[in-house]
Amino acid sequence: MAPVGARTLEVLQTPVRLAGRVVHGFGRGSAQLGFPTANLAIRWDACDGDRAHLNNEERTVLTFAETARTGIYAAWAKVCDGPDQGVYKVAMSVGWNPHFQDLKRQTIEAWLLHDFADDFYDATLKVVVVAYVRDEAKFDSLDELIAEIRADGDFCERTLDERADLNAFKDDPFFSSAAALPTTPSSPPTDGAPQ
């Protein structure tokens, strides 16, 4: 197994606010791993060209996917147009899913640490990313990967509960129906020092 190292909490100076449509991924989260994840739509078709046709939400998600440090993040999220509109803790993966080695582009996969009664594909998901937890890692077995994902979820859940400064983002105005994305995307952490 690739060593994960200790999970740390690198709090972002400015939280990153993302909103996007939930799309189908490879179907591994629920079926193969036991962790249902919400994959945010990323407009990779615009990554090398004119972005003027993208709406602000699409530009923000694309910019984050292109520039964010790959790994696991702690966040809060809300399914905006589903029957369950609570705001829940999230362990979010941004990157290449190195265990499976079959991605052509990076993904943003949010594991909402809540049991939902129904799927919410095509719904709008709002996410407030508040901290970086660890780097991506490749594991020797599926069992090791599952154990690390579970540990990521436990760490994010515990940390978001214990840290009042991070817990406060559960009530971020971004989650209200009237809130809109800022006109300029926040800068996510890069492969250098966290923000």
- The span from the CA of 51 to the CA of 138, in Å, is 33
For residue 37, give both structure tokens: 């994840």
DSSP H or E run through 21: strand 10-23
Active-site entry in 58, 109, 136, 148: 109
Query: Shortest CA distance to 170 belongs to which of 114, 132, 117?
Result: 114
CA–CA separation, 175 and 78 (whole Å): 7
Q: What are phi and psi of 6, to 5 degrees?
A: -70, 140
Residue 185 tokens, joined: 């995307």
Q: Does the CA dihedral 149-153-155-156 come out positive or negative?
A: positive
Residue 140, token pair as written in the block: 């020797």
Q: How many helices (H) and strands (E) does the chain have?
A: 4, 6
Three-state SS letters, 169-180: HHHCHHHCCCCC
**Tokens (6 digits) for 58:** 């699409």
Active site (annotated) includes residue 162: no
Catalytic sites, residue numbers: 109
